Amino acid sequence: MPSTPDQNAALQAMFQAGGAMAQGFNKFLAEQQQQLSAAAPAGTNPAAWAAESEAMKALQQEWMERHAKLWQGMLGKAPDQPAPQVASPAPGDKRFDHPAWAESPVYDYLRQAYLINAEYMKRMAEAAPVTDGQAKNRMRFMTRQMVDAMAPSNFLATNPEFVKKALETKGESIQKGIQNLLGDLDKGRISMTDDSAFEVGRNLAVTPGAVVFENELMQLIQYSPTTEKVSERPFLMVPPCINKYYILDLQPENSLVRYAVEQGNTVFLVSWRNVQADCGHLTWDDYIEKGALTAIKTVQDICKVKQINALGFCVGGTILGAALSVARIRGENPVASLTLLTTLLDFSDTGEIGYFVDEKAVQAREATIGKGGLLRGSELATVFSALRANDLIWQYVVGNYLKGNTPPAFDLLYWNADATNLPGPFLAWYLRNLYLENNLRVPGKLEMCGVKADLGRVDMPAFLYASREDHIVPWKTSYQTRSLLGGETTFVLGASGHIAGVINPATKNKRNYWVNDSKTANADEWFETATEQPGSWWPVWAKWLKSHGGKEVPARGKLGSKACPPGEPAPGRYVKEKA
């Protein structure tokens, strides 16, 4: 059935709007070409960008043909017939699931035109004549950011769900959306969960214990035992300093801290301070000396033992590994076993975070806050959200502001939004020496706390865990830790990502993990012969840890010691400080 003049005019406008996206991307590609040609000529082939390039011409031709097919199908469609499906969302993409997208030819056209353009953009990025791996990955990342941002679902005028919800609620959803937007502007961040549902110390970080030591950088928490007997060697956990520690102690049913206590361990944990301006002078060496090494020494003194067991998570693992290198070079051997969760010691491939770190960016940090100052937690949170923009930004823009919804309560997302500041000198050193120059892996290259670091001297048994879909700590890079440490290593690979893979409670027995006794230095070879196991990896780790705990002894009746008496109850005040 022929379309009416009004329909033709509307569809023509939509066709022009859809084409604008691809034109914008062509401009984006041209700008990238100029930058790459100037900055990294060895990694590019500028001539291949020419309009005569066969690969580029073929992609453009295919793009035009798909749009023409969509356009012709829309014009020739009978009103009671479904629109032709020229483009469909990728599996798992739920942005266009609502029936409203298919009920109107205009919105259906917008949806499919966007998907055609998005695929074209991504394929153009793949075909781009860039041979330098880092530059290529950065282009892929920037392309994805542009594609995600330009989705018609993100805007009032092009999202039929906004209109439908407004009509159904008689405008109440619009009012609520405005209120949500104003509230988030006041917070300075997008709400990802119902903040009123959680409070640290009330229903998060509630494992019983007390602060037994503190300095300007950290509080040391000791947890109350729940078993009559415990392993002789106490157990220290060093979480990342770029987030709050309670990711390891969310709620009782998904708390790794509580699980460790229940397995018969005397558990201690470092609670890093959410630093303010008065701590803007702190350095990497401070985090080693006043943080990890001080915590280890305090646990030794409280429990009157020569050796403890220790765990580091993410950046906490990097700090702990570096600290143990310092200790071993000093002739000390305070740790009997080491657990590293999603940790980088080799920074050869840092995943998408690395796209933000280059010489220019690091120099800028060194010039502004390298001698003193803070990286604000809000800035850090924005970077991490940008890595998964559809999941952590646009989903909430649409839900909170366009539809006027209140996001559901979710403890992990509450933690994710509880940002932390970082001291400028610490950050600048970390970016320069680890992310940019990858110096920690080179024996004797870095000086820390007055000695030359050598990870090969860290020779105690180590349990290494990585997550297969981790976009912050790529598992194959984490696997390289096996070649850096001097002791025997056990490697376990879990399903899911950086956080969900780690916080996988044994009681829920979800997901899966891979194990392999192979000692190969090649991650792909290890995985090819690995055995997949259902459920949580926690029990495998708990059994390994117990084998390094020493004999069983009666649990201590009191927390702390005479020199380190218990103070404020867990979780302490440091973790409650806001950025």
pLDDT of 42 over the 70 cut: no
The mean pLDDT of 300-319, rounded to a whole number, is 98
pLDDT-based confidence at residue 38 (cuts at 50, 70, 90)? very low
- On the question of a cis peptide bond just before residue 571, with omega within 30 degrees of 0, the verdict is yes
pLDDT of 22 over the 80 cut: no
Which domains can be identified in the chain, with CATH numbers? 5-151 (no CATH), 209-376+419-576 (3.40.50.1820)
Q: What is the pLDDT of residue 129?
A: 79
What are 540-559's pLDDT values in tens digits? 999 999 999 999 999 999 99
Q: What is the pLDDT of residue 49?
A: 52
The mean pLDDT of 260-270, rounded to a whole number, is 98
What mean pLDDT, rounded, does the chain reach?
90
Whether the model pTM is above 0.85 = yes
What are 356-405's pLDDT values in tens digits? 888 999 999 999 999 999 999 989 888 888 888 998 899 999 999 999 99
Catalytic residue among 303, 314, 449, 564: 314
The burial class, CB within 10 Å (0-12 / 13-18 / 19+), for 459 is middle
DSSP 431-475: IIIIIIT--TTSTTT-EETTEE--GGG--S-EEEEEETT-SSS-H
The mean pLDDT of 216-225, rounded to a whole number, is 98
Strand blocks (E) in 295-402 = 308-313, 335-341, 374-375
Does the active-site annotation cover 314? yes
What are 504-520's pLDDT values in tens digits? 999 888 899 999 999 99
pLDDT-based confidence at residue 14 (cuts at 50, 70, 90)? very low
Selection from 97-106, 170-179, 353-362 with the highest mean pLDDT:
170-179
| Long-range pairs, 88-92, Cβ under 8 A, ≥24 | 88/115, 89/115
